[in-house]
Amino acid sequence: MTYETSALSFPVHPPFRLDLTVWALRRRKTNIVDLWDGSRYSRILVFDNEPVKVTAIQKEMHTQPGICLTLQSEREVTPQLQHDARLTLQKMLGLTVDLQPFYAMAGSNDILSSLVQRFRGVRPPRFPTIFEALINAVACQQVTLDLGIVMLGRLSEGFGKEFVDNDTVMHAFPRPEDFQEASEDDIRELGFSRQKARAMKELADGILDKRIDLTSFERMSDRDAVAYLTNLRGIGRWSAEYVLLRGLGRLDSFPGDDVGAQSNLERIFRLGHKPGYEEIRTLTSQWHPYEGLVYFHLLLEKLHQKGVI
């Protein structure tokens, strides 16, 4: 297969570390959608129904960090495609977020100062679509994150658009239309429960026939967005708050029912018990409006303790 290739570069306001940001996005080594080889981040994104391989490398540009972005596509890489890919990557990697107010707050906080200094430069990542955030939330409910990531990989291999590069097969994360011909049983065959398969299928179908409107979320308050999301099959409070953070980029959202986050807060506050939802809201309120940024720092600390980063 011969592909059209195009490269573009753009600066990023410091501080910035691509490696830490990618790990906050991919979460586990077994993630086959968001790939990291130690210096390059790559992923298949779909534009105008065409899979495009996007590869990002951090580089120095005029004494400040920057991104070198390479696009590979079977079709012509047009200026519009370059524009769309850049905007998508900026959103996914949190490149337009101003971290200075967060660093000012964290520097005077006894709990955060050393943690934030250790992972300085991580940006708050987001999934490229709310649909992907919702599917991630459903897949990772009531299972370990390790298993959830593996299951999401199966979902991408089963339904996502394929991209073959030098005999290596990569898959995009499936879109609602990629589930159009799939049945609940097809999803269950990948290892999902009946309830999760039904939730995924209903979500995809609802978006396609416009019974579910995800385009209005950007304008909703956190409270209204959670209320809307929890009316969807398979979406509870944890999933809704997870989508606020990882789908909408609401940095004041800290998923209070997150088991891993509960353990992290128990450790850093030396509680001797796992905090409940209301206690977590109280503990994290001192970091407002950056509770979600702390969530990502705690995730990275856990990955560091496991020797992943």
**% of the chain beyond a pLDDT of 70:** 100
pLDDT of amino acid 218: 83
Task: Find the length of the chain.
Answer: 309
Under 8 Å between Cβ of 161 and 51:
yes
* Residue 97 CA from chain centroid, whole number: 15
Q: Answer with the one of 204, 225, 246 that is the final residue of a domain.
A: 246
pLDDT, one tens digit per residue, over 255-271 is 999 988 899 999 999 99
- Nearest in space to 207 (alpha carbons), one of 130, 154, 103, 153: 130
User: What is the average per-residue pLDDT within 179-205?
Assistant: 97
Q: Residue 176: give its domain's CATH number.
A: 1.10.340.30
pLDDT, one tens digit per residue, over 218-238 is 899 999 999 999 999 999 999
CA angle in degrees (0–180, nearest 5) for 231-233-238: 75
Q: Answer with the one of 229, 246, 263 that is the final residue of a domain.
A: 246
pLDDT of residue 193 exceeding 80: yes
| Domain membership of residue 37 as a residue range | 4-96
pLDDT of residue 298 exceeding 90: yes
Q: Residue 91: give its domain's CATH number.
A: 3.30.530.50
